[in-house]
Amino acid sequence: MLADGLQYHGRMIVLLLLLTAFVPSMQRPSDIVKWSATVSPAAVGPGDTVKISLTATIQTGWKLYALMQPSAAAQALKIQVADGAPLTIVTKQIVGPESKVYEDAALGLNVRYHDRAATFVVPVKVSTGLAAGKLRIPLRVTFQACTDNICLLPFTSPVDVEVEVRK
């Protein structure tokens, strides 16, 4: 009886190990696409606009879906500030690199993407009436990463930078 139980558990462990070895989608999106940011200028006055250079470093073999997609069926990259932050992104002025296009057989349409690395310049307007001092800019980047065979679920990654608010 004990031997049967141990044999069953041993088989289950082997099965689980085999399953995890063949499931690349168990990678976290934050491991596939790593985000970093710098801000310019480093000091601003209330009401001024700063430019944040937001860089995605994309793991080899993966594609980061671009800001603009030809269809709503593909998850477009979305860059926002966290709720409640005294900041506004000037969305229509975000500048990014030229994206590539490939035909996604599963969706049956062309999808725009970036591979290896992509840097986006994001203009962020600082609210008026802020006190002087350090201000954290809490960006939230929602993205989807895919290979030619699988897509990870859309994921939101926090990316924070700081500026000095002067009077």
Domain that holds residue 62: 27-165
> What pLDDT score was predicted for residue 17?
39
Q: How confident is the model at residue 15 (pLDDT cuts 50, 70, 90)?
A: very low
**Alpha carbons 91 and 157: distance in angstroms, whole number:** 18
Is residue 100 domain-resident?
Answer: yes
Residue 32 token pair: 């596939």
Total tally of structural domains belonging to the chain? 1
> What pLDDT score was predicted for residue 19?
39
Q: How confident is the model at residue 116 (pLDDT cuts 50, 70, 90)?
A: very high
CATH number, domain with residue 86: 2.60.40.1250
Selection from 119, 77, 78, 76 nearest residue 98 by Cα: 119
The answer on pLDDT for 7 being more than 80 is: no
Q: How confident is the model at residue 48 (pLDDT cuts 50, 70, 90)?
A: very high
Is residue 11 domain-resident?
Answer: no
Neighbour-count burial for 35-58, b at 16+ CB within 10 Å, e otherwise:
eebebeeeebebeeebbbebebeb
* Average of per-residue pLDDT across 63-80: 92
| DSSP state for residue 10 in the 8-state scheme | H
